[in-house]
Amino acid sequence: MPESRKRKPKKKSTPLRSLPPVSVPGRYSAGTLKLSDERVGGLLSPDVPPDLLIEALPAALWLNVMSGQRANVCVDGSMILHFAYQQLGIVAEPRAVDLVIHDARTDRRVFYGRPDPWWDGTTFHGHCILWLPGSRRLIDATVEQYPEVRKYRLGPIIGRSVVARGTEEQREAVARGELVPGSHIGVKREALMLLYTTVSEQFKDVVADGPLVQETRELYRRAGVNLASTALQYFRHPEIVERVKLAPYPRVHKLIEAIGGAKVQVDKSGDMWFKLKNGDGEDLQLRLDDVPVPDDDPRVPEDVADIMADVETAVRAVLAGSRHVKGSTFPTLLFEPQRGVMVQRQSDWAPSEAQAEAIIRAGFTRYLPIQDIPVHHLAHWYLKYNGSMVELWEGDGIWARGRLSLTPEWIDAAEAAGRVQVIYGVKIGVGSPVGASFSEDDRQEMLQLGRAAGIVASATVPWRRPAPRAQGGWLKRLGIGRGK
């Protein structure tokens, strides 16, 4: 919680039902939303994986609360859920899509949504869903507005992506958690195959940037806070909480700890308030978005600031298939800082290394010891190479540099691939111990130990051919070459 935020007087807000509806036209009967208590309760079964429990319950609760309301309100549902997931520390992106529903029994295909969605006042012409990049799941809370799906009454689509079609680049992007324009995601439901296609780049933000959505943003946010508060009521239940703690969502864990067994009050406007006490034992009545939780950033002592600011590293280049980086499919650069700063992650209290945590927060993937774990591709990062020095940059900021002369073979491989895998960490087997021989097996073992400890980060970045070097002053005077 920002330190500047103070407790404000209660102000009138809205429960989930009372938002101004956003119409979505269609030449079909949209029907009404419906999800029974039994369906909601089914998500609490021990057979449901902890991560799916946390991701699915908010959508199910929203449908349960909205039972009886018209179903063609995909914008309302997506925006409320977007803010609910935000409170729980889960990134959920509203995305416009078109949808083809294929019935395998009849071979009938029906097209919904549109590839060029647009707004006409309060009417949205198109369909939208939520994309959860962390788990690569797609959530369609209002899919039962379509009669082919509604007849099964199984609730929202909450499916891990199965890429049915698309380019290799699109499939790789989805595997990394990116849903690029034009991606095709297939989700099966009974005899139906639902094929979602994300709209082109120009319509990527058409849902969230819509004028009505912007005007109603605060109402959506407050409704999302209420929905997340309701979900936490279930998550902290004694029969559920231990399973919830197994899910990789540290903010949910911290919220459960912060609210403990606090009683909940619902006011006349439909807002939920938690009754807590401060450090002095004084009674507080807080909404979920005002409940203080520990900072996610590692605590870094001030006396190690010079280490954090030092970009000098040892660096090594290896080709794909090297024993050192077994499992890598790209030519690889390994940057190893000269000194480390061990800290304790506030997210899960695990020991970690501050420089690795910093680059992970900037976009890198924590490079755990799973050989096929997808790492992020950071298109805005780049490498500089002048023949004797390699540097890793993000925009105008340098992260690492080290002396190295790249071989022609390695450069050719990088140019052919178009990207380079970068591995960063203090324990990755680049620098050799003083007075000791260091074999490829030793290097690989050290890297694996660092990955297992969670103190290694990785990503792929574009490989750009170095600019031509100066060709000499007299050539420049003659207008030949690009000498400086």
In order of 130, 156, 157, 220, the CA distances from 56 in angstroms are 12, 9, 9, 19
pLDDT tens per residue, range 320-353: 888 888 777 899 999 999 887 776 554 444 567 8
Non-local CB neighbours of 269 within 8 Å, separated by 6+ positions: 12, 13, 14, 15
Positions of the chain with pLDDT lower than 50, given as ranges: 1-13, 296-298, 300, 346-349, 434-435, 465-484
Q: Is 340 helix (H, G, I), strand (E, B) or coil?
A: coil
- HSE (CB half, 13 Å, CA atoms) of 452? 6
Identify which of 144, 469, 88, 56 has the alpha carbon closest to the alpha carbon of residue 293. 88
Q: Is 85 helix (H, G, I), strand (E, B) or coil?
A: helix
Sign of CA dihedral 300, 306, 309, 313: negative
This prediction's pTM: 0.61
- What is the per-residue pLDDT for 16? 58
Non-local CB neighbours of 62 within 8 Å, separated by 6+ positions: 16, 77, 80, 81, 84, 141, 227
**303 DSSP 8-state letter:** G
In order of 192, 268, 289, the CA distances from 12 in angstroms are 44, 9, 16
Tokens 């012409």 correspond to: 125
| H or E element in which residue 175 lies | helix 168-175
- What is the per-residue pLDDT for 436? 54
The Cα–Cα gap between 220 and 83 comes to 7
The Cα–Cα gap between 112 and 27 comes to 10
DSSP of 215-280, one letter per residue?
A: HTHHHHHHHHHHHHHHHHHHHTSTTTHHHHTTSS-HHHHHHHHHHTT--EEE-TTS-EEEEEE-TT
Identify which of 181, 428, 461 has the alpha carbon closest to the alpha carbon of residue 325. 428
Radius of gyration, CA atoms only, the chain: 26
Identify which of 157, 167, 173 has the alpha carbon closest to the alpha carbon of residue 112. 157
- What is the per-residue pLDDT for 105? 93
In order of 28, 373, 382, the CA distances from 412 in angstroms are 56, 25, 17
Identify which of 428, 420, 398, 422 has the alpha carbon closest to the alpha carbon of residue 337. 428
Identify which of 283, 237, 275, 270 has the alpha carbon closest to the alpha carbon of residue 259. 275
Burial class (CB in 10 A: 0-12, 13-18, 19+), 419: middle
